[in-house]
């Protein structure tokens, strides 16, 4: 580990420990002697002597899931991430074209202090009565950035000098694209979290918020895994073996455009079809369709009375 990485590791690690200790020292819980949550015959009694069982928690989650607006919200927050499925492959494409992993990690470290300020900047915009409209705009802008990122990667050779080194313009462009991309990603996350806070039933405690936060995270994991799987599945290669046949790639390219890591050995292969750009175009079109269709449903969800989100009204 280089000195600057080690220094940043200790700085942010110490800050994390310090913040945790401050929260532990000054944050006090409100001990209510008795809180009743009635939901179609379900009564949860929380006091100092009796706590909800795991079965009670799952019953509460099921009651939340039965709320119709919740099901619409779940469908929207899972599917919007599909437009960014190939985003996780962008780093691999950069490495594939000769950009070192160390520089990628260093750029991420440089971005981290800036990204810490993003939620603070966005908080003034998410306090409005309609955060879902802002969420939809951030999703649309992020789709635009993914499109620009793909164009940037496709024309990567234009940013190389005669000595095959990346030019200064490349680093500036990559930094700005990464910064704007993360800004819009944070924007979508913060505005969605703001809406969750508005509709959450406080009588249920953290169960409702945890339930709401689970689905965007699930959509993110599905989209990333699915993107890598499809890239892996649709890549066709021809390996450097005499009379070898064309076969579908069963590995992921991580070194360069002609080298693939095999479970048993490393072999040189020629890429015959790279699905990254066609798949990205398809997903961008999907994202634009999502932005158009979601307008109606997000408006509907935004106008649902707060009482409709409570489990006792179901």
Supply the mean pLDDT for the chain: 78
pLDDT for 272: 78
Residues 177 and 282 in one domain: yes
**Which whole number is the average pLDDT over 22-33?**
64
**Is the pLDDT score of 127 beyond 80?**
no
Residues 296 and 250 in one domain: no
Residues 95 and 240 in one domain: no
**Is the pLDDT score of 78 beyond 50?**
yes
Contact 179, 145 (CB under 8 A): no
Each residue of 171-220: pLDDT tens digit? 898 889 988 998 898 888 888 888 888 888 777 767 888 888 899 999 88
Residues 290 and 304 in one domain: yes
Residues 203 and 144 in one domain: yes
Residues 140 and 257 in one domain: no
Q: Is residue 4 part of a domain?
A: no
**Is the pLDDT score of 69 beyond 80?**
yes
Q: Is residue 14 part of a domain?
A: no
**Is the pLDDT score of 260 beyond 50?**
no
Residues 105 and 254 in one domain: no
Each residue of 271-281: pLDDT tens digit? 778 888 899 99
**Is the pLDDT score of 77 beyond 50?**
yes
Range of the domain at 258: 236-273
**C-alpha span between 192 and 64 (Å, rounded):** 18
pLDDT for 270: 73
**C-alpha span between 86 and 99 (Å, rounded):** 18
Q: Is residue 100 part of a domain?
A: yes
Residues 182 and 306 in one domain: yes
Residues 241 and 230 in one domain: no
pLDDT for 46: 46
pLDDT for 251: 42
Local confidence band at 74 (pLDDT 50, 70, 90 cut-offs): very high
Structure token pair of residue 29: 């819980």
Residues 66 and 172 in one domain: yes
Q: Is residue 161 part of a domain?
A: yes
Residues 187 and 262 in one domain: no
CA 99, 3, 115 angle in degrees (round to 5)? 65
Residue 190 or 251, more confident: 190
CATH number of the CATH domain containing 122: 1.20.1250
Q: Is residue 76 part of a domain?
A: yes
pLDDT for 36: 46
Contact 211, 61 (CB under 8 A): yes
Structure token pair of residue 175: 């930094």
Q: Provide the domain count of the chain.
A: 2
Residues 147 and 258 in one domain: no
């Amino acid at each position: 580990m280089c000195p600057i990485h080690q220094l940043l590791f200790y700085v942010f690690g110490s800050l994390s420990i310090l913040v945790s200790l401050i929260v532990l020292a000054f944050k006090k819980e409100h001990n209510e002697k008795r809180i009743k949550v009635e939901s179609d015959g379900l009564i949860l009694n929380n006091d100092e002597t009796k706590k909800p069982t795991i079965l009670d928690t799952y019953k509460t989650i099921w009651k939340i899931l039965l709320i119709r607006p919740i099901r619409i919200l779940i469908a929207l927050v899972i599917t919007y991430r599909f437009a960014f499925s190939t985003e996780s492959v962008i780093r691999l494409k950069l490495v594939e074209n000769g950009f070192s992993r160390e520089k990628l990690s260093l750029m991420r470290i440089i971005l981290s202090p800036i990204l810490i300020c993003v939620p603070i900047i966005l908080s003034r915009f998410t306090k409005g009565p309609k955060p879902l409209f802002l969420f939809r705009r951030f999703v649309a802008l992020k789709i635009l950035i993914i499109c620009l990122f793909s164009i940037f990667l496709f024309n990567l050779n234009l940013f190389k000098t005669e000595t095959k080194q990346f030019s200064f313009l490349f680093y500036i462009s990559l930094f700005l694209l990464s910064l704007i991309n993360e800004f819009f990603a944070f924007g979508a996350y913060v505005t969605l979290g703001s809406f969750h806070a508005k509709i959450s039933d406080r009588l249920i405690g953290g169960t409702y918020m945890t339930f709401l936060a689970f689905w965007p995270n699930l959509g993110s994991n599905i989209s990333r895994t699915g993107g890598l799987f499809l890239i892996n599945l649709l890549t066709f290669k021809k390996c450097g073996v005499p009379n070898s046949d064309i076969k579908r790639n069963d590995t992921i390219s991580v070194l360069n455009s002609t080298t693939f890591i095999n479970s048993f050995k490393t072999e040189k292969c020629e890429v015959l079809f790279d699905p990254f750009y066609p798949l990205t175009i398809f997903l961008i079109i999907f994202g634009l369709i999502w932005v158009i269709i979601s307008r109606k449903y997000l408006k509907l969800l935004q106008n649902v009375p707060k009482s409709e989100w409570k489990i006792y009204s179901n």
